Amino acid sequence: MYKVLVVEFTRRSGMDTVTSLNWGSLGFTIENEAHTTDNALALLSSKSYQLVLINMVGMPEEGLALCSRIRAESRVPILLIGDGTNFQLARKAMYYQVSDYLPAPLCPDELSASLQLIRRKLDAARPVEREKQAVESAATDISVIDKVKEYVTEALSQNITLKEISNILHFNCSYLGQKFKYHENMTFNEYLLKQRMEKAKALLESTDLKVYEIANEVGYSEMDWFYKKFKSYTGVSANEYRKMMSITA
């Protein structure tokens, strides 16, 4: 069901038709009613609606002002009920890209037809909106993952944990770990090990630093642990790797 906010500034023509209509059969439900501009805007900011129906018979300027305020923040469909003899008012309403303008006294068939058209447009927009949300979510995830990788690069010589990074980025550690694995096809610890070993290899190839100095550069204070990890990663010891690279250079 699409949720509707009904706004009527005063009890005027058309509201009996509105309230007596079988909204559910048309795919809508009247969620809330508002009687002032401030009340309507407060509801719109705190809840999600798929349609705003404004009865501005007798208070056209108030109704148009509300349309203007809504359009400044939202593209939610707006259905207006106004004076049927005031064509200038109808033209002004179109400026705010309202979905429809129905003249009072309100005809039930016209209201029903208008709602059916609005529903078809809402139905058609649903897949597009879901795709847009998915794209935005993916972009946000990628941005966060990039921040994690940037932190690893900058702090590679330090003791790095995903929990520490999660606290810095204000994320749940388990959630961030799942997102990282999804986007990088490896766990955070696997990524961290790869970055450390690849930097160690680069330092062994391009510098005269001693092995213990290189171990410190890539975050290992215990040499035995560094030797074990490096050999497991490359298949040879750090010294053997340096000799191999100097021969092939």
Look up the CATH number of the domain holding residue 208. Answer: 1.10.10.60
Q: Would you say residue 223 lies in a domain?
A: yes
* Number of C-beta neighbours around residue 74 at 10 A: 13
Q: Would you say residue 184 lies in a domain?
A: no
Q: Would you say residue 116 lies in a domain?
A: no
Q: What is the DSSP string of 154-203?
A: HTTTS---HHHHHHHHT--HHHHHHHHHHHHSS-HHHHHHHHHHHHHHHH
How many domains in the chain?
Answer: 2
Q: Would you say residue 79 lies in a domain?
A: yes
The two tokens of residue 164 are 């520490």
Among 106, 136, 153, which residue terminates a domain? 106
pTM over 0.75: no
Residues 44 and 74 sit within 8 Å (Cβ to Cβ) = yes
Q: Would you say residue 118 lies in a domain?
A: no
The DSSP code for 235 is S
Among 54, 72, 106, which residue terminates a domain? 106
pLDDT digit string (tens) for the chain, length 249 residues: 999 999 998 765 557 778 788 999 999 999 999 999 999 999 999 999 999 999 988 888 999 999 999 998 899 999 999 887 777 787 788 888 899 999 888 888 999 999 999 999 999 888 877 777 777 777 888 899 999 999 999 999 999 999 999 998 888 999 999 999 999 999 999 999 999 999 999 999 999 999 999 999 999 999 999 999 999 999 999 999 999 988 765
Q: Would you say residue 153 lies in a domain?
A: no
Kind and range of the H or E element at 137? Answer: helix 108-154
Determine the structural domain holding residue 220 and report its residue range. Answer: 190-248
Q: Would you say residue 215 lies in a domain?
A: yes
Q: What is the CATH number of the domain that holds 72?
A: 3.40.50.2300
Q: Would you say residue 242 lies in a domain?
A: yes
